[in-house]
Amino acid sequence: MPKLLAGLALTLLLGGCASGTKPVDPIDALMQRYSGDVPGASLLVLKDGKPIVRRSYGLANLEDGDKATPATNYRLASVSKQFTATAILLLAESGRLKLDDPVRRWLPSLPETTAAVTLRQLLTHTGGLVDYEDLIPPGTSGQVSDNDVLRLLSATPKTYFAPGTAYRYSNSGYVLLGLVVERASGISLPLYLRQHIFQPLHMDHTLLYERGGPEVENRAYGYSEENGGWTRTDQSVTSATRGDGGIYSSIDDLAKWDAALYDDRLLSAASRKLAFSPHVKVTGEPYEASYGYGWRITGDTLWHSGESIGFRNVIVRWPKQRLTVILLSNRNEPEPYRTALAIAAPYLQ
């Protein structure tokens, strides 16, 4: 825990107010930028499985004035990766695939240069695949689908490094993992996630969104601050891919997800150990971390951030202390990771 953040949180917790004035709530102070008629956020702090902080700030929809609530569903962006990884682990448990399967076993159109890349390496961002964002033709205005990503990668023999020899964060890898879930299960990725993760955990308002599919209830729309005002930036060319970032969920549903990560109700102990173990050191990112399967690992924490054009999210878990902070926001700034650490600090003393 950075000392500066812990100090800030404790200073706020102790008040720091003039005599006779109402103390500033420390969490509200840390969340002040999200308050008012601006794109907002929902915040959950879980201790021993119970919500000790459950608050929302600001607006989910500026145009209609809809307030953010604990039931507001935000686009999780890369927080979705832990669900894609879980789907792969569930399929491995049921014998539908093996983690050391070459990805080309399931997606044979990929080039020969990817022959040695395994599903396990895609889970840990060590496959060396080219970023699909860099392959999108200039001037593309329509949204890129998972199958478009597969076509782009299938036509690209280049790789960044030999598989398993380095780390490079890869949305490409998780898009392909989502397609592997479909090939191995025989059903669509949204349906697999719903039947095997969301429904068993009673995450009844969580879904992998696809245009033309079920609409997102209580949907937060994304915004970016431009020239002193807020502009809706809810979707981009890359917002339709799925395995790397397409899930919408709320803090209330994510509380159920967090609970399931402590026991065998979804994944076996062996699969959870795989997901939460440090397989590779993270490089090229502004964080001191290792990477599991859909989780970054820093000290005692398991965490992951999610960023897309109008959303910034983070989930940070301290499993030994049974503490979790989840912060979801429908705006491009601020980055929420350090805010989540500061909110957690008093509960870790």
- Residue 281 CA to its chain's centroid (Å): 19
Q: Mean pLDDT across the stretch 115-143? A: 95
- Please, which pLDDT band fits residue 21 given cuts at 50, 70 and 90? low
Task: Check if the beta carbon of residue 41 is closer than 8 Å to that of residue 69.
Answer: no
Residue 8 has pLDDT above 80, yes or no: no
3-state secondary structure of 191: helix
Q: Give whole-number Cα distances, 204 to 27, 85, 245, 258, in Å.
A: 28, 20, 19, 15
- Reported pTM: 0.93
- Residue 282 CA to its chain's centroid (Å): 16
Q: Mean pLDDT across the stretch 207-233? A: 94
Q: What residue type is assigned to position 139 of the chain?
A: G
Mark residue 101 as left, alpha or beta (left: phi above 0; alpha: psi -120 to 50; beta: remaining): beta
Q: Closest by alpha carbon to 221, among 56, 68, 335?
A: 68
Task: Check if the beta carbon of residue 108 is closer than 8 Å to that of residue 150.
Answer: no
| pLDDT one-digit tens code per residue, 249-263 | 999 999 999 999 999
Average pLDDT along the chain: 93
Q: What phi, psi does 184 have (nearest 5°)?
A: -75, -30
Can you tell me which residue has the tokens 């809706």? 232
CATH number attached to the domain at 3-15+40-56+68-311+319-348: 3.40.710.10
3-state secondary structure of 79: helix
Domain boundaries, the chain: 3-15+40-56+68-311+319-348
Q: For the chain, where are the E strands, in sequence order?
A: 41-47, 50-57, 59-61, 66-67, 74-75, 207-208, 223-226, 229-232, 247-249, 280-281, 290-291, 296-298, 301-308, 311-318, 323-329
Q: What is the DSSP letter of 14?
A: T
Residue 6 has pLDDT above 80, yes or no: no
Residue 18 has pLDDT above 60, yes or no: no
Q: Which residues pair with 225 in a beta bridge?
A: 230
